[in-house]
Homo-oligomer: A and B are copies of this chain.
Amino acid sequence: MKVTGDQALVKKINKSIILHTIRRHSPLSRARVSEMTGLNKATVSNLVAELCGQELVTEVGPGESSGGRKPLILNFNAMAGSVIGIELRVKQLTAVLCDLGGSILHESDFSLEAHELPYVLEQMRILISDLIAKAPATPYGIVGIGVGVPGMVDEQGVVLFAPNLGWEMVNLRALLEHEFSVPVTIDNEANAGAQGELNFGAARDVRHLLYISAGSGIGSGIIIGGELYKGARGYAGETGHMSIEAKGKPCSCGSRGCWELYASEKTYDNPGLTLPARTTPELVRYAANGQEDALRHFSFIGEYLGIGVTNLINSFNPELIVIGGALSEAEEWLGEPLRRVVAERTLPYHKQQLEITFSKLGSRGTMIGAGFSAVMHFLGNIRVTL
């Protein structure tokens, strides 16, 4: 967007700085905020007064003195409003009601039996209405809805392509905004998961994060400089279709040797495989009991995850890699082979600084991240780069 500088912009920038400082570091006194941001005490006082008037910040009373007048403690008012975060999965619709701080207030889900748009939309409508009914009375009420979907999404919230749902060009944002009259944000499932882990999970305050969602396929959420990178038309991160065997198995995408053919739940159907089960939760149970076939297969997946992860490390050079998605529940058996292969194959300079973790938010990561997108859309965020 075309932005020029004037006093209104200055005020917006400083107010945003103060709001997010308090959001992330409260409880805090005005004096601390002034120190942390570098803004003048008077400026902080004025803008905090406005934020209090907007009920986004609350004054909770005097704190401990450190040799002078007691500070007046400020808090981010997470209960100024609430958001709904939804994850649309192939077989299930899961949703949470969160406050502005990402805490879950209510949770509910629904099993999907088909993927026709009208049917799915109707179930979303019911789920959302249900959560809206349960929302506590807050100054702003429901300030937004965030949805994570298993497919490519453009910047206008149109689901361009979701192969597992059979969707193409579905303007989900417009449909939901029309229905509920609140701002709706639509994100790719992996992108939402990345946001969740970045803000509330295993990757707090990481600047360059790679989130790998390994489940029925593989998708990646790429955080660059603390911000989600979506690519030219909204579908960066389709790393599941990165070829790791140039002349390997043909994939439905038209290519060959795609990563997700070797390192996702898609491998459960490989011919000639003896497996005691065909779903991750069941296989996890078998592996926990020492079942050989399950152990061997997780080791296989772990190694191939490592090969793809190495490729991504060489391209993106992230600080941290978080493995999420359904397969993250097999952390116990995937972790060793994955880390071993990465250690074997990465350049020496990459190894030094890199960490690999598994999701902290588990199956809730995507919902929480989707909800957080809605929160940020409500609060706004403005930054200056030079």
Contact = CB atoms under 8 A, between A and B. Distances in A.
Contact of A386 (B3, B240, B244): B3
A11 B7 CA distance: 10
B345 A254 contact: yes
A241 B314 contact: yes
A152 B238 contact: no
Contacts of A314: 238-242
A184 to B, nearest CB: 19
A171 to B, nearest CB: 16
Contact of A316 (B236, B317, B347): B236
Nearest to A307: B246
Interface residues of A, number: 74
Interface in A338-352: 344-350
Interface stretch (A109-117, A135-143, A225-233): A225-233
Contacts of A319: 232-233
**Stoichiometry (number of copies):** 2
Chain B CB count within 10 A is highest, among A161, A234, A236, A312, for A236
B255 A232 contact: no
B5 A14 contact: yes
Interface in A221-265: 222, 224, 229, 231-246, 253-257, 262
Contact of A5 (B11, B262, B350, B353): B11
A234 B2 CA distance: 29
Contacts of A255: 310, 344-346
A267 interface: no
A311 B9 CA distance: 41
8 contacts: A9-B13, A232-B317, A233-B319, A236-B316, A254-B345, A254-B346, A315-B315, A382-B384
